Amino acid sequence: MEAAAEIDELGWHTRAERTMSPNFDDRPVGIAVDLIVIHAISLPPEQFGGDGVEQLFLNRLDPCEHPYYREIEQLRVSAHFFIRRDGRLMQFVSCHHRAWHAGISRWKGRDRCNDFSIGIELEGHDLCAFDDAQYLILDPLLLCLRAAFPIVDVVGHSDIAPGRKTDPGPCFEWNRLTKR
């Protein structure tokens, strides 16, 4: 019988495909990771299946490949996890480090959500339903993260950056997540 997925001692999911982004740093000392932020991303916008998101997280986005890439090529961003439309799970930053996914953000009176959160990007956009395969990976991932960290809340990017961000959007089915 195969062992259950978990977050190992170095902060890596034991079943995720690992691709290390340079866009991370140390979390502040003494701050517990107690928030998970759900995002939606597609590059080029509203197109799925390409390597744009990975290239963005690795600082390898080619500005000649798509006009939108010229607008964002200077960004230095990442997320801990990325779930593709087909359910493929990728991890770019150890959960013990601070990924650069939330930007200017605030949750329950605390600023700088990157300090105390784990970011999960879903391949998608605000006005498109997410695929079943993504929920089938997301729910166990959340349970795994809850087992490893004292998670209190799971929120959307729009919840921590209202007016600035709208993802994961109205098509994200929050009721499909297990409440445990």
Q: Are 11 and 95 in contact (CB under 8 A)?
A: yes
Annotated catalytic residue: which of 17, 121, 123, 173? Answer: 121
Q: Which residues of 84-122 are buried (b: 16+ CB within 10 A; e: fewer)?
A: bbeeebbbbbbbbebbbbbeebebeeeebbbebbbbbbb
73 is catalytic: no
Tell me whether residue 69 is exposed, middle or buried, using C-beta atoms within 10 angstroms of its C-beta: 0 to 12, 13 to 18, 19 or more.
Answer: middle
Give the residue numbers marked as catalytic: 121
